[in-house]
């Protein structure tokens, strides 16, 4: 008689749905369940775990929403083989519900942007670096457009940072970075608007030039300082 896998052994009575989630995620982390594996039939798994099928269905539904499991019609339920953007969605809601501190959000922004810079320095290609330099040129040109220079510059700024994230070649980090940038959209737009309308556009361009040069020179020194140098929020709030 074959040994019953650990994750299919009877669960103790506690929060049943959470217990099922914990048991299955532990099995994935330990390698007992691997990406691409097909889960046992619902009735068999529920009986092995000692839980009601309704509790098992709820746990599978949550894990599917989180991007850990996927249900294929007529085939069954499988362990996801790769990263899914849905894995990040609960984190987004958590940030939105607990966004009680501007300082906390700015710290998170700095952490993600420094991380994206580190990845870009390691993984970028020469072709991507040329594209980043071209985007910096677009930012310089945007300052002098007659119609909506702020909006034009901000769009170029967004493309510049998206390119840095793309250069890092890590889709999970890229997604988290986009989430944080979306949460800071308003404050970033306000910063660009104030600096451009008060004749300080060159300062904005210079901060981006420093980031581009750090990637070009593969210079990881003082990355936090270089990223923080581009943040004007405290200074502008004091005005």
Q: What is the pLDDT of residue 44?
A: 93
- Average pLDDT on 167-175 reads 90
If asked whether residues 52 and 110 sit together in one domain, one would say no
If asked whether residues 54 and 115 sit together in one domain, one would say no
If asked whether residues 97 and 168 sit together in one domain, one would say yes
Task: Work out the percent of the chain whose per-residue pLDDT is above 90.
Answer: 40
Q: Which of 59, 86, 113 is at the close of a domain? A: 86
pLDDT in tens, 209-228: 999 999 999 999 998 888 98
Kind and range of the H or E element at 71?
Answer: strand 69-72
pLDDT in tens, 134-158: 999 999 999 888 888 998 999 999 9
If asked whether residues 122 and 208 sit together in one domain, one would say yes
76: three-class secondary structure by DSSP: strand
If asked whether residues 22 and 106 sit together in one domain, one would say no
Q: In angstroms, rounded to a whole number, what is the distance separating the alpha carbons of residues 21 and 170?
A: 27
Is residue 202 assigned to a domain?
A: yes
Q: Which of 65, 86, 107 is at the close of a domain? A: 86
**Torsion angles phi and psi, residue 145, rounded to 5:** -70, 150
Range of the domain at 150: 89-238
Is residue 112 assigned to a domain?
A: yes
If asked whether residues 116 and 131 sit together in one domain, one would say yes
If asked whether residues 55 and 104 sit together in one domain, one would say no
User: 60: domain CATH number?
Assistant: 1.10.10.10
Q: Which of 30, 52, 86 is at the close of a domain? A: 86
pLDDT in tens, 41-92: 999 999 999 988 888 988 888 888 777 888 888 899 999 887 665 565 666 6
Q: In angstroms, rounded to a whole number, what is the distance separating the alpha carbons of residues 50 and 1?
A: 20
Three-point CA angle 216, 212, 218, nearest 5°: 30
Is residue 1 assigned to a domain?
A: no
Is residue 44 assigned to a domain?
A: yes
Domains in the chain: how many in total?
2
If asked whether residues 100 and 77 sit together in one domain, one would say no
Task: Work out the percent of the chain whose per-residue pLDDT is above 70.
Answer: 84
Cα 223 to chain centroid, rounded: 19
If asked whether residues 21 and 44 sit together in one domain, one would say yes
* Sequence-separated (6 or more) residues with CB below 8 Å from residue 168: 116, 118, 119, 120, 122, 123, 124, 174
Q: Across-strand partners of 71? A: 77
């Amino acid at each position: 008689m074959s040994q019953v896998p650990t994750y299919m052994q009877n669960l103790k009575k506690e929060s049943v749905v959470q217990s099922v989630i914990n048991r299955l995620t532990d099995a994935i982390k330990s390698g007992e369940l691997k990406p691409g594996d097909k889960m046992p039939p619902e009735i068999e798994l529920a009986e092995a775990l000692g839980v009601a099928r309704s509790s098992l269905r709820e746990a599978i539904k949550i894990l599917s929403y989180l991007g850990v499991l996927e249900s294929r019609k007529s085939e069954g339920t499988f362990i996801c083989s790769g990263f899914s953007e849905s894995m990040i969605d609960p984190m987004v809601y958590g940030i939105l519900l607990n966004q009680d501190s501007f300082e906390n959000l700015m710290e998170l922004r700095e952490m993600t942007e420094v991380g994206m810079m580190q990845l870009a320095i390691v993984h970028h290609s020469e072709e991507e670096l040329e594209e980043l330099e071209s985007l910096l040129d677009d930012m310089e040109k945007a300052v002098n457009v007659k119609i909506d220079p702020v909006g034009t510059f901000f769009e170029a700024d967004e493309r510049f940072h998206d390119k840095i994230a793309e250069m890092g070649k890590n889709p999970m980090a890229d997604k988290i970075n986009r989430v944080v940038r979306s949460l800071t959209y308003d404050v970033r737009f306000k910063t660009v608007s104030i600096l451009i309308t008060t004749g300080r556009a060159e300062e904005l361009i210079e901060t981006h030039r420093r980031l581009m040069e750090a990637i070009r020179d593969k210079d990881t020194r003082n990355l936090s300082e270089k990223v923080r140098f581009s943040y004007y929020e405290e200074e502008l709030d004091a005005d």
